[in-house]
Structure 1
Amino acid sequence: MAKKSRKKDKKARQRMEAWNAQAQSFNGQGFGRAAGGGLFDGLSRLLPAGRSEQFLLGAAIGAAAAYVLSDDELRGKLIKSGLSLYSGIMGGLEEMKEQVADIQAEMGAAPDGPA
Structure 2
Amino acid sequence: MAKNKKSKKSKSGKRVEIRYVQAPPSGGLLSGIANILPGKVSDQWLLGLVIGAGVTYVMSDDELRSQLIRQLVKAYGGVAGGIEELKEQIADIQAELRAEQSAAA
Unaligned runs of 5+ in 1: 1-27, 29-34
Unaligned runs of 5+ in 2: 1-22
Residues 39-96 of structure 1: CA deviation (Å, up to 9, x unaligned): 4332222110012211211111011011001100000000000111111100000000
Q: For residue 95 of structure 1, what is the aligned residue in structure 2?
A: 85
Q: Are 1:58 and 2:48 counterparts?
A: yes
Choose between structure 1 and 2 for higher RCO, CA contacts under 8 A separated by at least 6 residues: 2
Q: Report 1:22-61 matches (<5 A).
A: 36-37=27-28, 39-61=29-51
Moved over 4 A (4+): none
Q: For residue 77 of structure 1, what is the aligned residue in structure 2?
A: 67
Q: How many matched pairs?
A: 80
Q: Which amino acid aligns with 2:39?
A: A
Q: CA RMSD in A?
A: 2.1
Q: For residue 14 of structure 1, what is the aligned residue in structure 2?
A: none
Question: Which protein has the bigger strand share?
Answer: 2
Q: Matched residues, percent identical?
A: 51
